[in-house]
């Protein structure tokens, strides 16, 4: 878990999850994501990191979705 466990678990976890959800929705309204060329489908994690971190990062392609203008306009009216 990236937020820790037990009595010292992150007190900002719910807030952080809410922000991440809002951010993901905003992103996914306009783009679909694919792994960039050459990316492995198996992820190796950094064992010395406090939070979950893939070694070498994860590179993605953001591909514009059809009709995203309508989805943005619908949300703001």
- Cβ distance to ligand HEM smaller for residue 46 or 70: 46
Token pair for 53: 């971190």
Report the candidate in 77, 74, 45 with the shortest Cα–Cα distance to residue 58.
Answer: 45
Report the candidate in 28, 25, 2 with the shortest Cα–Cα distance to residue 13.
Answer: 2
Q: Which stretch binds ligand HEM (CB under 6 A): 10-18, 25-33, 36-44, 58-66?
A: 10-18
Question: What is the rounded distance in angstroms from the CA atom of residue 36 to the CA atom of residue 16?
Answer: 27
- Cβ distance to ligand HEM smaller for residue 50 or 73: 50
Given candidates 45, 50, 66, 69, which one binds ligand HEM under the rule CB under 6 A? 50
Where along the sequence are the contacts to ligand HEM (CB under 6 A)?
2-5, 8-12, 15-16, 50-51
């Amino acid at each position: 878990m990236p937020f820790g466990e037990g009595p010292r678990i992150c007190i900002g976890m719910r807030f952080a999850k809410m922000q991440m959800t809002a951010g993901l929705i905003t992103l996914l309204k306009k783009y679909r994501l694919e792994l960039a060329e050459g990316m492995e489908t198996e992820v190796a994690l950094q064992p010395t990191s406090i939070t979950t971190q893939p070694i070498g990062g994860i590179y993605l392609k953001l591909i514009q979705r059809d009709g995203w203008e309508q989805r943005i306009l619908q949300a703001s009216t």
